[in-house]
Amino acid sequence: MTLSNTGPSHIVSQPIFPLELFKEAIDHLAASLPEQTELKATMKPLCLVSKGFLSICRRYVFQEINIGLIDKCQKASIRRLNNLAKLLHDQPPLARRVQALNGSIFSNPTLTGNARCLKILNGNTALTPFFNLPNVRSMTISQNKRAKQRFDYSSTSQADASFYGRDALLRSYIAHGSLTKLALHDIKDIHIVTILSSPTLTTLILKECSIREISEVPSESDLSSGFNLIEYCSIKTTDNSLFILSFCHNLQRLYFDSRSEFQPPNSDLVRPPVLDDKGVECLPFSKLTGAEFGAWDLNDVDWHSFYLAAENKGMLALPELKRVKFSVVNGYQEDPGSNNRRGWLHEVDTLFKHMSALSHLHLSGISMRFLKLEQCVFACHHTLKTLIIDWEFFHRESEFDEGPYHGYGVESLRKINLSALESAHLNIDLGMVSFDTLKSKLHLKQFQMLREAFVVNGAHNFPMLKLLKVDVLLSVEPEEEENGLNVMCGMKPVDSVDMEGEDHNPEMQNTDAERVGKDSGIRREAEVKTMYDEAVRSIGKEAQFVFECEVKLAQRTFECPDEKPVDMTRDETRMH
């Protein structure tokens, strides 16, 4: 090849090296780019290198395609969809490469006669190729923002293929026989029974959605052919139905975040026995291996739905559950007349008794102060290897203020024995308090309890412990000194008066006050930070395991007349 043929303007028809070698390199590159956006961005320019590269890289570009409206102009979006559909129709090998669909899509406009609504006609079947791509495994569909403003259709509207819309697409692929994963975002009134009737669907993710009220038991045909879900994830989704999910006898992973909401139990609905392929009755949720039990309040969830059927048969409800996060935001104030059954907490206590195989437990949320740690780990004290606790030690008015939940569970660590525990991570948020409160050392007793639990009694309580990590967050609010200066802002209140009546220069006085106030605030910060660094580090003294700690001082934002609010975070301290 001459030098003139190697200039930047020359494009060879084939690469110099064998295509097989480049294919191996590109396949390796694709395997290291799991995110579709990054993969597509990398492969698109490679398609332009040569015809050989095009044949190798194009399949990665078409693994996932956007079938929604991505342009501000509706006509431009429809034109793009028509061109893409024609390409897939004309080149069947490309259509077979498509494995995932995503997009912001309108509902099918079949429930309203509003002439102003946005409609995408498919009368000439130009967009029909999107309905029957043979190898689609995954769909991610969100409600189109423009659609929300102009019309609102139910997600169960009739699938009219003469219009291009979300419902026709969903119903087509639910019955398709290849769809395994479905993610829906911001879609209301979902008919979840129809979705779960898919014979191949194994993963369902709902984000900021709502589910239609369950009023009847699924039909025998739906139960026999569908309800094969393995993973269910709810993120800020309302009206989740534990009753319907109990029919998914293969369910292994179940996640509800702390903003999830649930349908109340319907006493008119009776769950019939669900049999496996061998005719053996499947207990609800008995195959769970991982779960996040999240809610806003403890009493929002019908907890006994997870274990009552098994308990009535004298069996463990969750024998295979290995990993759990319990993240309920608010607790439940006990009714004095509850005969010590702890109200809703009794159901939570019972739920944990069915987790005898737990190896990883994460307890989070304000409700932690209501839980009894001994009850949470009693059933799994021989199997639990990792324990993560998010605590919030709110300020007590004095050292003698016991309160209904004085210890917040810290003292429980001195009472439990976890023979298999290898790692413990404690996240402690002290909440919003003043400098004087921090200096009064009200919280330091809790750190002494931690030392007693893990170091003094650790050889007996946690004989296999290899790592203890303690993270502490101090959130401090600005405070005024006796002279009326804000210790961080350095400014006197607007209505302050010079009692001596001296004629001071206001600008000079303001500058001096600002400097003195800031210096005082910095000194207080340093003093508090040092005190808590020492207290937290003392937990790990003479420990026979690796100890790591991190103390952060977060200054609450505030405004001064001449300054912008400031967030201040202090350096972290770690020990090994």
Name the phi and psi angles at 131, rounded to 5: -85, -15
Q: What is the pLDDT of residue 443?
A: 66
Q: Give 360's strand partners.
A: 323, 386
In this predicted model, what pLDDT tens digit does every residue of 12-22 receive, in sequence order? Answer: 555 566 767 66
What's the pLDDT band for 318 if we cut at 50, 70, 90? very high
The answer to whether the CB of 298 falls within 8 A of the CB of 345 is: yes
Q: What is the pLDDT of residue 484?
A: 46
Q: What is the pLDDT of residue 338?
A: 47
Percentage of the residues of the chain whose pLDDT score is greater than 70: 62
What's the pLDDT band for 62 if we cut at 50, 70, 90? confident
In this predicted model, what pLDDT tens digit does every residue of 474-518 receive, in sequence order? Answer: 776 655 544 444 444 433 333 333 334 444 455 545 565 555 555
Q: What is the pLDDT of residue 215?
A: 86
In this predicted model, what pLDDT tens digit does every residue of 513-547 receive, in sequence order? Answer: 555 555 565 666 677 778 888 888 999 988 999 99
* Tally: H helices and E strands in the chain: 17, 15
Q: What is the pLDDT of residue 155?
A: 40
Of 60-69, 122-131, 372-381, the least confident: 122-131
Q: How far from 219 is each of 156, 223, 327, CA to CA, in Å?
A: 17, 6, 34
Cα 497 to Cα 480: distance, rounded to the nearest angstrom = 16
For residue 237, what is the enclosing H or E element? none
Tokens describing residue 65? 């395609």
Give residues with Cβ within 8 angstroms of 319, minimum separation 6: 286, 354, 356, 357
Tokens describing residue 253? 């992973």
Q: What is the pLDDT of residue 475?
A: 73
pTM value?
A: 0.77
Q: What is the pLDDT of residue 47?
A: 67
In 338-380, DSSP assigns E strands to 360-364
Mean pLDDT, range 78-94, rounded to an integer: 89
Mean pLDDT of the chain: 76
Q: What is the pLDDT of residue 138?
A: 94
DSSP annotation string for 389-430: EEEE-PPPSSTT---TTTTTTGGGGGT---TT--EEEEEEEE
Mean pLDDT, range 459-478, rounded to an integer: 87
Percentage of the residues of the chain whose pLDDT score is greater than 90: 35
Most confident of 168-182, 186-200, 265-279: 186-200
What's the pLDDT band for 300 if we cut at 50, 70, 90? confident
Mean pLDDT, range 272-294, rounded to an integer: 86
Mean pLDDT, range 386-403, rounded to an integer: 65
User: How many CB atoms are closer than 10 A to CB 475?
Assistant: 14
Tokens 């006898």 -> residue: 249
Q: How many residues does the chain have?
A: 576
For residue 444, what is the enclosing H or E element? helix 444-451
Give residues with Cβ within 8 angstroms of 440, minimum separation 6: none
What's the pLDDT band for 208 if we cut at 50, 70, 90? very high
SS3 253: strand
What's the pLDDT band for 553 if we cut at 50, 70, 90? confident
User: How many CB atoms are closer than 10 A to CB 401?
Assistant: 10
What's the pLDDT band for 440 if we cut at 50, 70, 90? low
Mean pLDDT, range 463-472, rounded to an integer: 95
Q: Which residue has the higher pLDDT, 78 or 294?
A: 294
Does the pLDDT of residue 181 top 90, yes or no?
Answer: yes
Q: What is the pLDDT of residue 560?
A: 43
Most confident of 159-168, 385-394, 407-416: 385-394
Q: What is the pLDDT of residue 477?
A: 61
Does the pLDDT of residue 552 top 90, yes or no?
Answer: no
Q: Which residue has the higher pLDDT, 290 or 505?
A: 290
